[in-house]
Amino acid sequence: MSKVILCLILGYLLGSLNFAIIYSKLRGDDIRNHGSGNAGATNVLRTYGKLPAAVVFLLDISKGVIAVLLVRWVFGTSLLECSAALGAVLGHNFPVYYKFAGGKGVSTSLAVLLTLHYPTALVAVATFIVVVLITKYVSLSSILAAVAAMVAAFVFFKVNEFSVFCFIIGILCIVRHHANIKRLISGTENKLGQKRKD
């Protein structure tokens, strides 16, 4: 249990490095004061453009990958890898360095899924791409990708530490998109490439 807690904390501290906030601070700004108020790559895309968004996305991916690979190298057990992965996602969503106001964890979740079990990640990515191409809603695509990952993990593994991990981050992703869900229902959610309605 002590190793589980240690890996969870390690992942959390790495995950708490929010590169959307770091980038905006380097510009003398705060991404949380713009658009959706979310400290993630999609809001960076809408606020600052494609290149900054791509850089933030890649850095958000890297912290999740590093957390899992570091634990894999030191301990090499699935439970501890999942613990570090969960910590990274929680850190991105609730970063200790930024008063627990972070992003929605989509890119970090994708990163750890790719590192832990890439077939599950590919199911999620395929779902995201299909939905975003059809609807142009990034939020809806993220939510349905999270659901697809939960289902895929259960199909691949039934109930084990990985499928439980996927269930937890899937539910967390849906909950973190609660404001988007309200806007989707009311028809006021922004589509990809559309200027945000303030």
Domain-located, residue 92: yes
d(CA 35, CA 9): 31
| pLDDT confidence tier of residue 7, bands split at 50, 70 and 90 | very high
pLDDT averaged over every residue in the chain: 90
d(CA 96, CA 106): 18
Say whether pLDDT at 79 is over 90: yes
- Predicted local confidence at residue 71, as pLDDT: 94
Which residue would you say has higher pLDDT here, 157 or 38? 157
Say whether pLDDT at 119 is over 80: yes
| pLDDT confidence tier of residue 113, bands split at 50, 70 and 90 | very high
Domain-located, residue 139: yes
Cβ count near 56 (within 10 Å) = 28
Domain-located, residue 78: yes
CB 109 within 8 A of CB 137: no
Say whether pLDDT at 13 is over 50: yes
SS3 of 107-168: HHHHHHHHHHCHHHHHHHHHHHHHHHHHHCCHHHHHHHHHHHHHHHHHHHHCCCHHHHHHHH
Q: What does the block give as tokens for 97?
A: 């360095």
Residues spanned by the domain of 178: 2-186
Say whether pLDDT at 195 is over 60: no
| pLDDT confidence tier of residue 198, bands split at 50, 70 and 90 | very low
Domain-located, residue 95: yes
CB 97 within 8 A of CB 115: no
Domain count, the chain: 1
Which residue would you say has higher pLDDT here, 76 or 176? 176
d(CA 11, CA 6): 9
Residue 13's contacts (CB-CB under 8 Å, 6 or more residues apart) are: 87, 91, 96
Domain-located, residue 196: no
| pLDDT confidence tier of residue 60, bands split at 50, 70 and 90 | confident
Q: What does the block give as tokens for 46?
A: 């809408």
- Predicted local confidence at residue 35, as pLDDT: 78
CB 31 within 8 A of CB 39: yes
Domain-located, residue 76: yes
Domain-located, residue 195: no
Quick: pLDDT tens for 123-150. Answer: 999 999 999 999 999 999 999 999 999 9
Domain-located, residue 191: no
Kindly tell me the sign of the dihedral angle through the C-alpha atoms of 157, 158, 162, 168: positive
